[in-house]
A and B are shown apart, each in its own frame.
Chain A
Amino acid sequence: MIDHSDPVTQLAFMIVVSVVAGTFLLIAVALFRRWQQIRYGRYVHALQRKYRPVLAGILSGARSPAAIEILREMPMAELEVLLEPLFSRRKLPERSLVFFQALCLELGLIELWHSRLARGPRMAAPYSQSGASRESLGRPGMGLLLRAKSIRNLGKLRHRPSWPLLVKALDDPRAEVQFVALRALGALGAPESFPLLRERLHAVAQGNSQSPPLRGLRAAMASFDLACAPALVPSLRHGDGNVRLQGTEILRMIVSREAAFQPHLTLTAELLSPQMVELLLAALAIDANSETRARTAEIIVFLADPRATRALRNLLLDHQWFVRLRTVQALAHLRQAAAPLHVQIRGCLRDSHWQVREAAIQTLLSLGPEGTHHLYEHFLASPNHPTREQIVEVIERRGVVFELVEMYSNGANGVDARMVEQLAAESARVGLSGILRSVPPEVRLRFLSRLFSSAEAKMRFHEGTQPGLESAVSTEHVLEFLPRVAA
């Protein structure tokens, strides 16, 4: 078929042959990899089956020197493979941490992980040097994976004495290793490492260094205990705006996390340090960077300082809409901080930005009866249609209308009752109809009889139906009629 005198045909044919050979090579590699994987799976399975009783005994918490001796005699690689499911879990159980730390220490695993980290990226010990059998993994040159796993395991165990090695790992040339190290440092939360991380943060935020990655650094520092927060003072008073911003963000994240655990968290000068409180109120709340101001607001709400209210009031009037947004959102967290600011929050219902208005609605609803009444009063008095629509949407989505229907049908008066009548009259007829259909019939009946006892509603009712027929009208008829009443 091949014409040897034609070089083009010959070349094309050679390419065909090469591609065919390449294709078969790819097929062979794919099949080989699958075979290798199956073999490895069988090996792990056999290992787990063999040592399951020993491991189960140890993991049950009972100290068994014989079992530990069996594990100690195992090659390190096999031991790591055996314990891998433990470390690839989301989180080790809190109560077992001390036990696992002791176990890994006793088995020499912590020493092995330390030695890998101490040797650095190029000289990570291959399994052959750590007592592993050749068949164990057979994957030479996987220094990156070994380093990363060692760091991950130390982090999962929260082995605090390992922090200097983990800080050193931040200089690893691989960004992935830096990430894992940051995560581990965050999990450890060793206070000694915090100032070192802060120095790195300054370098990265100022652009003097590219590594470790800023987001990872921020997340790691935010995982530290609130007691470490005073160490952020140099960041908060730094001349560089970006450093201040990053410092404030970290502090905000630490405070938010603490607040999630302690609903009545209060930040005092003793807890944060007087300098930090001063910085927050006198400098960061009026920082040139609006992002910094927005984050500062979220910290100030927790401050037990008489100046905090004034600072928050100013932030609620900030010229940047997202500063107002973050401030009004933050006020939802703490009732005592918000109490003197109800009027200002209510003022945010007239904000030019819809997100601020919506946040104000959410905040007032979360501030208990007093905030809710402020919201209802605004709704009843405000002629602003978009804001009224937003209020209706939020209270319906949060299920507040259910409560209102129940209260109204049980005879509640005051602003709640006026709110319900207003909702029925014009604003929330769709949602109200839907809710009335889903409540028990007796509640529905009580609600409707009360609603239609009001003169105005009765008048509207009569406008759309035959006089004298109201007693004969069924609940279903009234439900159908409700939108018309509102119209």
Chain B
Amino acid sequence: MSHIRTLFEDWVTVFNLVVLSYFFLGNGIYTILMLLSLRATWVHQRQLAYQGLDALRVSPVTPPVTIVIPAWNEQDVIVDCVRTALQVDYPQLQVMVVDDGSTDSTLARLVESFGLLEMDGAYHGGLPTAPVQTYYTNPAIPSLLVVSKIRGGKPDALNAGINLCRSPYFCNIDADCLLERDSLLRLMDPVVNCTTQTVVSGGIIRILNGCETRGGRLLKVGLPQTWLERFQVVEYLRSFLFGRTGWHLLGGTLIVSGAFAVFHRETVIEAGGFSHDTVTEDMDLIVQLCQWAADNKRKIRTSFASDPVCWTECPSTLAVLANQRRRWQLGLCQTLWKHSGILFRKKYGIVGMLSFPFHSYVEGVGAVVEFLGYALVPAFIYLGMIPTRLLLVFILLGFVYGGFLSVGAVLLEELTYRRYPRFRDLVTLLIFGLLENLGYRQLVLFYRFQGVMKFLFGSRRWEKVTHVGAIAEGTP
């Protein structure tokens, strides 16, 4: 019996060490990312003051771009999304909607709203996709093309869009997104103004809930009403303003939001396009591109800028949030597993040596470690295996450090873009930054844990996140 107890105590010690390493590694790297992005975003924002976009708008070296919108049962938001895409300020722009076999009236609404006529089209399949059935166009709106295809999933729709796209770059956005007028110019700025070939350029996603919109245009920025959505505002700020900016500065970008990113078409085709293997095809493609470039000795660059803004709906109910987070975690695990060959391989640079291991441990395995930490702590206290006071201080540290990082993200926003104009909004964000770690984080952790379990044991299908149609509704 005493032998079993010793064994159990040893296991508890190892587990404690794992939890500690997770805590310090995660928070340590996040702190470094925050400090790095604080400076970088500050400098970048200062540059924006005098680097007008007019030169890019008229420059002959600004390459044409096609906005690709994959849509599946998006009848409530699709028309406004296309409208906003057509209004984007960019010199040579095409907009393409790929209807991925919608069963609702997505296609009918597009046809009606834009006076589209069915036309004959020629399909050149560089990437394998499900068949494209019909093409719709309106000669009066030559920059718009709508195609309808047999359902094959989002990656398939994106690949079909790539095949049909004629420009060297394409920008994929989700159907529930609303682009700011100059967002594409801002997104292409690092592409045009960099000597190394930039194959991916990502922008920031902000939450549309609570903002006022009309006809696909953002009229007034505001905070959402519910606590769930407000927590997500803080979470997005943290994730984009210092998470992604920081990794970009270190040269270890692994995630660029598929809801708003520009890609170099030929490179994506060479790397095999969007894959069906994971449910987060955006992250998968970035890792795939890094791996492909290193394997083929190609020098490519992935860029992230925090000033091009795309507004999107966030889940407003727990059920939808749960679906979304389980899917993200499942996709993360699938991608990390699929590309595990690059782990700690010097050949893949910062991505292989730092970014990928960090994401594997802190973002992937970390969900299980943290969840088990919360679940097993009461048992350990009961068995007297951890000093209670140390544990309490440690838990307190966890809460306050999380608050520190969230408040840091709000500060970063305040120092730079200041998109929430009212003083009251700032105070609300700071309060929600402090409170985020008292319940919301644990809730999301639970969904992430479920995502890992789903990866290990369960179904791996794509869970649709339903939209309430905030773009179409127009009011918070």
Contacts and interface: CB of A to CB of B under 8 A. Distances in A.
Contacts of A214: 195
Interface in B184-225: 192-195
Given A9-B390, A20-B400, A26 B411 contact: yes
In this complex, the member of B135, B390, B427 whose beta carbon has the largest number of chain A beta carbons within 10 angstroms is B390
B118 A398 contact: no
B138 to A, nearest CB: 9
Interface string B112-149: 00000111111010000000001101011010010000
A392 B400 contact: no
B59 interface: yes
Nearest to B138: A399
Choose among B52, B192, B394 the residue with the greatest number of A CB atoms under 10 Å from its CB.
B52
Which of A15, A34, A88, A91 lies at the interface centre, i.e. has the most chain B CB atoms within 10 A of its CB? A34
A433 B403 contact: no
B119 A215 contact: no
> What bracket does the count of chain B residues touching chain A fall in?
35 or more
A216 B62 CA distance: 11
Interface in B396-435: 396-397, 400-401, 403-404, 407-408, 410-411, 414-415, 418, 423, 426-427, 430, 434
A144 interface: yes
B61 interface: yes
A33 B52 CA distance: 25
A26 B408 contact: yes
Interface string A171-209: 000001001100100100000000000000000000000
A402 B139 contact: yes
B384 interface: no
Interface string A12-38: 110110011011001101110110011
A2 B55 CA distance: 62
B393 A16 contact: yes
Given A6-B390, A30-B414, A215-B192, A257 B120 contact: no
B118 A145 contact: no
A16 B408 CA distance: 16
B119 A430 contact: yes
A33 B60 contact: no
Contacts of A230: none
Interface string A206-224: 0000000111101100100
Contacts of A180: 50-51
Contacts of B49: 145, 148-149
Interface string A432-465: 0111011000000000000000000000000000
Interface string B37-51: 000000000110111
Interface string A345-361: 00000000011001000
Given A8-B390, A30-B426, A397 B418 contact: no
Nearest to A176: B47
B188 to A, nearest CB: 12
A1, A16, A253, A399, most chain B CB atoms within 10 A: A16
A398 B138 CA distance: 9
Interface string B87-129: 0000000000000000000000000000001111110100000
B54 interface: yes
B298 interface: no
Nearest to B410: A30
Contacts of A95: none
B14 to A, nearest CB: 17
Contact of A26 (B60, B61, B140, B404): B404
A257 B60 contact: yes
A94 interface: no
Contact of A215 (B145, B195, B394, B404): B195
Given A215-B192, A430-B134, A393 B397 contact: no
Interface string B155-179: 0000000000010000000000000
A431 B50 contact: no
B126 to A, nearest CB: 10
Contacts of B193: 179, 213, 215-216
Nearest to B427: A31
A6 B387 contact: yes
Interface string A119-145: 000000000000000000000000011
Q: Which of A152, A431, A437 has the most CB of B within 10 A?
A: A431
Contacts of B393: 2, 9, 12-13, 16
B142 A397 contact: yes
A38 B55 CA distance: 31
A26 B407 contact: yes
Given A20-B400, A149-B50, A430-B120, A398 B139 contact: yes
A34 B423 contact: yes
B124 A27 contact: no
B375 interface: no
B119 A396 contact: yes
Contacts of A386: 122
Contacts of B137: 396-397
10 contacts: A9-B387, A27-B430, A30-B407, A37-B418, A38-B423, A88-B52, A145-B50, A219-B59, A434-B118, A435-B117
Given A19-B401, A145-B50, A397-B142, 8 more contacts: A9-B390, A15-B397, A26-B408, A30-B414, A179-B51, A222-B61, A393-B122, A397-B145
Lowest 5 A-B CB distances belong to which pairs?
A399-B139, A434-B117, A389-B122, A431-B119, A396-B119
Interface of B: 46-47, 49-52, 54-55, 59-61, 117-122, 124, 134-135, 137, 139-140, 142, 145, 166, 192-195, 387, 389-390, 392-394, 396-397, 400-401, 403-404, 407-408, 410-411, 414-415, 418, 423, 426-427, 430, 434
